């Protein structure tokens, strides 16, 4: 009994010593989050989002760089030295260096003022790949040495921007499937002498959908009709005369009955109508029963199967729990299925934000 009481007393004392440290860490985290939220609210009011933004005096921030702070310290030392020893030459040198610093502030502002940023649709990517956001840059005058980045991600360097549009590709790595909102884009420059850092946090209202990472797997197909044919020719689209598929360039020797005369009359050139027919019955991709923690793996397998069947020109349908997508083919049907797979709910997925976005994007 005495030993048990002593152990409890020791544990209580240990908990008392650990409690203040936990409270301090929690308080520091809460304080950082509070300041981060206030910073984002202020940015939202000062720099509202938009697909195209032109920088002006209300969107540009300027502060001395590390080199600039050393420069100001040198100016102060020279001025104190000159006044103490009544050396006009040293005092004049300190004033000259300080005026050079002020001139750099003006040139830093002019380097970003009038710069226009416009977002373009990003290409389709899979989870784990590098997501590239193309940004068009243009300026009413020349801008030099620009750096663009999302949060703590790698910066993209733009040597210069003139009146002609320059395409910058800012990258972001997103490890999960689902919607991506990279947040604010940081545009910074140390031009001309590195004494000042001019920057802006612009919100181009960027968003994208990352597809599930494809994982190679044997095709597991279901059919909605009885069929003894288990080959992959089931549901495959071939040349035929049953269903209209689209228009293609006319090839000499083709039947004139297939020529799209309406398009020819509109001046679109000689086009011929293309028809196709299906072999057998359409194929179906099923989510099926899942092993524990096997949802993401199965979705990755479905993503690969969708790409495989599309590349083979086969017609297929997709069943994801309560969601069902009828048989189809082609790039549009592939995009529909991949979007459904990417948006399929997952308990462990938090797709509301991307790495590098959020309150951490501070100057």
Residue with more model confidence, 88 or 266: 88
Of the candidates 345, 333, 244, which has an alpha carbon nearest to the alpha carbon of residue 287? 345
Query: What was the pLDDT predicted at 78?
Result: 96
The answer to whether the peptide bond before residue 13 is cis (omega within 30 degrees of 0) is: no
pLDDT band at 314 (very low <50, low <70, confident <90, very high): confident
pLDDT at 357 over 50: no
Residue with more model confidence, 298 or 241: 298
Residue with more model confidence, 40 or 137: 137
Beta strands per DSSP E along 226-310: 237-249, 271-278, 283-286
Of the candidates 118, 171, 168, which has an alpha carbon nearest to the alpha carbon of residue 355? 171
What integer best gives the mean pLDDT of the chain?
A: 79
Classify strands 316-320 and 283-286 as parallel, antiparallel or unpaired: parallel
pLDDT band at 107 (very low <50, low <70, confident <90, very high): very high
Residue with more model confidence, 170 or 32: 170
pLDDT band at 354 (very low <50, low <70, confident <90, very high): very low
pLDDT at 235 over 50: no
Residues 136-149 pLDDT 10s: 999 888 889 999 99
pLDDT at 160 over 70: yes
Q: What is the pTM of this model?
A: 0.69
Query: What was the pLDDT predicted at 17?
Result: 52
Residue with more model confidence, 292 or 188: 188
Identify the helix (H) or strand (E) that includes residue 306: helix 295-311
Query: What was the pLDDT predicted at 53?
Result: 92
Identify the helix (H) or strand (E) that includes residue 363: none
pLDDT at 177 over 80: yes
**Per-residue buried b or exposed e for 98-109, using 16+ beta carbons within 10 Å of the residue's own CB:** beebeebbeebb
Residue with more model confidence, 253 or 7: 253
pLDDT at 210 over 80: yes
Identify the helix (H) or strand (E) that includes residue 166: strand 166-173
Q: Give whole-number Cα distances, 346 to 176, 177, 247, 293, 343, in Å.
A: 11, 10, 41, 10, 9
Percent of the chain with pLDDT over 70: 71
Q: Is 21 helix (H, G, I), strand (E, B) or coil?
A: helix
> Residue 172 pairs with which residues in a beta bridge?
131
> Residue 168 pairs with which residues in a beta bridge?
135
Q: Which of 9-23, 255-269, 305-319 has the lowest average pLDDT?
A: 9-23
Query: What was the pLDDT predicted at 149?
Result: 92
For the segment 17-31, the average pLDDT, to the nearest whole number, is 66
Q: What angle do CA 147, 121, 212 make, to 5 degrees?
A: 100
Of the candidates 347, 293, 356, 315, which has an alpha carbon nearest to the alpha carbon of residue 178? 347
Are 328 and 336 within 8 A, CB to CB? Answer: yes
pLDDT band at 12 (very low <50, low <70, confident <90, very high): low
Query: What was the pLDDT predicted at 140?
Result: 83
Q: Is 194 helix (H, G, I), strand (E, B) or coil?
A: coil
Q: How far is 246 from 288, CA to CA, in rounded Å?
A: 34
Percent of the chain with pLDDT over 90: 39
Q: How far is 173 from 153, CA to CA, in rounded Å?
A: 8
Query: What was the pLDDT predicted at 75?
Result: 96
Query: What was the pLDDT predicted at 351?
Result: 38
Are 169 and 134 within 8 A, CB to CB? Answer: yes
Query: What was the pLDDT predicted at 20?
Result: 59
pLDDT at 228 over 90: no
Residues 247-264 pLDDT 10s: 667 667 666 666 676 766
Q: How far is 225 from 222, CA to CA, in rounded Å?
A: 9
Are 279 and 236 within 8 A, CB to CB? Answer: yes
Domain boundaries defined on the chain: 49-210, 221-342
One DSSP character per residue, 322-335 reads TEEEEEE-HHHHHH
Query: What was the pLDDT predicted at 226?
Result: 45
pLDDT band at 152 (very low <50, low <70, confident <90, very high): confident
């Amino acid at each position: 009994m005495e030993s048990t009481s002593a152990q409890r007393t020791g544990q209580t004392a240990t908990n008392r010593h650990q409690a203040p440290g936990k409270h301090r860490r929690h308080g520091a985290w809460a304080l950082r989050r509070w300041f981060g939220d206030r910073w984002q609210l202020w940015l939202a009011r000062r720099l509202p989002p938009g697909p195209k933004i032109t920088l002006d005096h209300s969107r540009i921030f300027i502060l001395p760089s590390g080199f600039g702070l050393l420069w100001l310290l040198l100016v102060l030392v020279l001025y104190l030295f000159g006044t103490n020893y009544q050396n006009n030459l040293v005092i004049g040198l300190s004033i000259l260096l300080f005026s050079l610093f002020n001139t750099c502030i003006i040139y830093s502002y002019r380097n970003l003022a009038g710069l226009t940023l416009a977002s373009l649709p990003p290409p389709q990517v899979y989870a784990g790949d590098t997501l590239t956001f193309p940004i068009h840059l243009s300026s009413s005058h020349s801008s030099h040495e620009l750096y663009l980045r999302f949060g703590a991600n790698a910066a993209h360097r733009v040597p210069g921007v003139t009146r002609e549009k320059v395409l910058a590709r800012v990258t972001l790595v997103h490890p999960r499937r689902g919607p991506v909102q990279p947040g604010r884009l940081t545009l910074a420059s140390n031009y001309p002498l590195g004494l000042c850092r001019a920057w802006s946090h612009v919100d181009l209202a960027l968003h994208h959908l990352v597809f599930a990472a494809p994982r190679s797997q044997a095709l597991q197909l279901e059919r909605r009709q009885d069929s003894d044919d288990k080959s992959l020719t089931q549901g495959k689209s071939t040349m035929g005369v049953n269903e209209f598929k689209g228009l293609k360039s006319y090839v000499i020797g083709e039947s004139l009955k297939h020529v799209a005369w309406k398009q020819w009359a509109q001046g679109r050139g000689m086009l011929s109508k293309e028809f196709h027919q299906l072999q057998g019955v359409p194929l179906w991709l099923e989510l099926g029963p899942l092993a524990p923690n096997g949802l993401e793996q199965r979705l990755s397998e479905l993503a690969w199967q969708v790409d495989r069947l599309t590349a083979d020109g086969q017609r297929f349908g997709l069943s994801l729990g309560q969601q069902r997508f009828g048989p189809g083919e082609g790039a549009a049907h592939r995009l529909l299925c991949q979007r459904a797979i990417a948006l399929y709910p997952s308990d462990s997925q938090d797709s509301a934000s991307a790495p590098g976005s959020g309150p951490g994007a501070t100057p």
